[in-house]
Structure formats: C-alpha cells, structure tokens
Amino acid sequence: MQLDEDTIDQFRHDGVVVLRDVLDTGRMQAAFEAWQWSLDHPGPLASGLIPGSDGAFQDLCNPEAATVYEPCVRNMPLAWIAQQFWGGSAVWFLYEQVFHKQSADVGRTPWHQDTSYWSIRGSNLIGFWVSFEAIPKQAALEFVRGSHRGLLFNTSRFDPKDPTLPIFEVGADHTGYLPPLPDIDANREQYDIVSFATEPGDVIAFHTSMLHGGGATDGVTPERRTLTLRFFGEDCCMAHSPGPPAPFGKDIGHLKPGDPLRHDRFVKVLDSA
C-alpha cells in the first residue's frame, strides 16, 4: 500500500491515522485465526483488561506466538506502511496483543500510553489496531492528537476506582521519573481528542506514545474482538525507565540504556529501504 504525502505528514504530526480497506478478506481471516490462536493458547501475561471487571480478556507477548504471527505480519502491508511513516527505516515486529470484550457493559479502557510501560524509546514505534467488528465512533478508541510529541507520563495501572493512579512507584533517587498522568476525562475540553468509526479491513495506525483510551462496549457493539500488532524501527533503543524493558524483559535484560533494541526474538520484517 503506497501512502500519499498527506497521510504520512498527518501521522507524523497527529500521531494517528485511520487507513481504510488496508486488509482484504484473506488477510483479515489470517489475522482472525492468529487472534483466535491467542485466545485458545493464553500466555503468562493473559488477564482481565481491567482488574475486577468481568467480560474483558487480553493477552500479549506470548512466548509461543512467534511462529503463529510471523507469517501473518509478513503477509500484511503493515510493516511497509510503518517504513513509509519512518522514512525508510528497517522494521521489526515487536509483539502482538489481543483483546476480547464480550459484554454490553464493559467500561472504558483508561487513558494511557503504551511506551510508558516499557524501557524502550524511539520515534520509530507504531501500533496497528485491527477490529473484527464494525465499530461506531461513540464506541471507538480515542486519541489525544499530537500527544506522541509531548510528555511521557507515569501511565495508568487500570485501577477502576481511579484510572489516573500510576503504574510505577518512583524511588527516592527519581530514576526514570515520569510525571503523573492527567485526568483527561475530567477535562476533555482541554484536549484535542479524535476517534474514528471503522469497518473490518480498516486499520488505525498510531505512535505508541499517544495518549489513548476508550472503546467501551454498549448494546450496539456488545462484542469486540481486536488485534493490535506493534512494530519498531532503527532508532529504538533501551532507556532509563521505572518499568521493565517490556513484557519480554528477561529476554533482553542484558541490554543497557542507549543500546539499540536488537534481539533474535524480534522478527525483522523489512530491511532499510
């Protein structure tokens, strides 16, 4: 899929774009089969999406998933899209994440930033959000436009009583300090919030440092099956952070801050253009 310059500029400025009809029926079926495999073979990080909430499941970075997802990501145009956003960088597959909301009253996903959970940083980071149902705008994921160019916050621990509570305790030496997450829902008028209605085959592409959240279910969309595929490029490296290197921390624990993010566990999908 060849992107036009306006789409590339929009992604770099806004941090998020919706790409229509990116995945044809065959690729959507392959993506769904990978998603279903994850549900049938939960990994060590499988959990409820929001602690104490029923009706929502997630799994991510399953160590057994590589052989399932590698053919899928190689056959999709997503890495090629990422490479165009990044000006020709090589592209590696970071990890998969699956979501299954199967109740008409699963609440909002709290506002958060994916990158804040990791000890990796870079401009070449992207998540592709693939939904297997048609999602109306009122039930869609929301983003704060341009927030990938701002601060990284001590992101949400997904506490249903207070979604702004931080995931990390900050030590006395303030190593890897990240500022508190703002209460976006209480001050929505202060933020440039965007969302997109999508149909199966559409893909939302966003920088993983984007503030994003939402996606509650309702009577119109009582079930939501979603696959997120994350990729990184050449400028990504290890960083000082209060968090682990990522869900795969023990695999790359020998890498030090400033080291390029490279390891055999990451599938290289595309060489530099």
Domain that holds residue 205: 5-246
% pLDDT > 70, the chain: 91
Predicted model pTM: 0.94
Domain-located, residue 273: no
**Angle between the 25-40 and 66-75 helix axes, to the nearest 10 degrees?**
170
Across the strands, what pairs with 191? none
Domain-located, residue 271: no
pLDDT value, residue 170: 66
pLDDT value, residue 240: 78
Domain-located, residue 25: yes
**pLDDT band at residue 204 under the 50/70/90 scheme:** very high
CA distance 238 to 21: 35
Contacting residues for 254 by C-beta, under 8 A, at least 6 apart = none
Domain-located, residue 187: yes
pLDDT at 173 over 60: no
pLDDT at 177 over 80: no
Rounded average pLDDT over 37-59? 85
The three-state DSSP-derived secondary structure of the chain is: CCCCHHHHHHHHHHCEEEECCCCCHHHHHHHHHHHHHHHHCCCCCCEECCCCCCCEEEEECCCCCHHHHHHHHHHCCHHHHHHHHCCCCCEEEEEEEEEEEECCCCCCEEEECCHHHCCEECCCEEEEEEECCCECHHHCEEEECCHHHCCCCECECCCCCCCCCECCCCCCCCCCCCCECCCCHHHHHHCCEEECCECECEEEEECCCCCEEECCCCCCCCEEEEEEEEEEECCCEECCCCCCCCCCHHHCCCCCCCCECCCCCCEEEECCC
Report the CATH number that the domain containing residue 71 is assigned in CATH.
2.60.120.620
Rounded average pLDDT over 79-83? 98
Rounded average pLDDT over 244-252? 71
Across the strands, what pairs with 247? none
pLDDT value, residue 74: 97
Between the alpha carbon of residue 151 and those of residues 102, 135, 177, 179, the distances in Å are 34, 29, 11, 8
CA distance 210 to 155: 11
Rounded average pLDDT over 81-108? 90
Domain-located, residue 268: no
Contacting residues for 124 by C-beta, under 8 A, at least 6 apart = 82, 86, 89, 232, 233, 234, 235, 236
Q: How many domains does the chain have?
A: 1
CA distance 6 to 80: 17
Domain-located, residue 120: yes
* Contact between 93 and 267 (Cβ < 8 Å): yes
Domain-located, residue 121: yes
Rounded average pLDDT over 222-232? 93
pLDDT value, residue 138: 86
Domain-located, residue 263: no
